[in-house]
Amino acid sequence: MSESVTDMDRIDLKILQVLQSDGRISNLKLAEAVALSPTAVLARVQRLTREGFIVGYEARLDPAKLGVGMLVFVEVLLDRTTPNVFEAFKAAVQVHPQILECHMVAGGFDYLLKTRMADMQAYRDFAGTVLWHLPGVRETRTYAVIEEVKSTARLPLRA
């Protein structure tokens, strides 16, 4: 059975905070940051990974420099809300790298997609060739982002 945040102590939370800020920090520097020995910190990081608190490490890339600077959110309303339609839609979005995130939501539509494109023409092409052909799609609403005010994957932790 997996542990919860209540089973963690302040040092575990501090380790997670530091790793969220710098996933490439050396074990020695991490040990200094949390005032433990490198051996103890390594054991804690291994346990936090084994227990699923740490799910991976990745580099954050600059979308504009890589030609996908336009961020677009899309509301998707399905024609039917049955288990087989949901499953077909979820499977279909997995294969399109332009779709960064897909969330089933409560409210006036079924899914919220976060996508990245080169520009509006690329989005129009994507909408016409991919988005509107996803299984069960009845209606979409598009929100092109004018300015990214805050963008982070860091979780709010209190050590």
CA distance 94 to 86: 13
Q: Are 100 and 71 in contact (CB under 8 A)?
A: no
**10-50 per-position pLDDT tens digit:** 999 999 999 999 999 999 999 999 999 999 999 999 999 99
Type of residue numbered 18: V
**103-152 per-position pLDDT tens digit:** 999 999 999 999 999 999 999 999 999 999 999 999 999 999 999 999 99
Give the pLDDT band (50/70/90) at residue 1. very low
Record the pTM: 0.87
**60-86 per-position pLDDT tens digit:** 999 999 999 999 999 999 999 899 999
> What pLDDT score does 4 carry?
65
Domains of the chain: 8-50 (1.10.10.10), 70-144 (3.30.70.920)
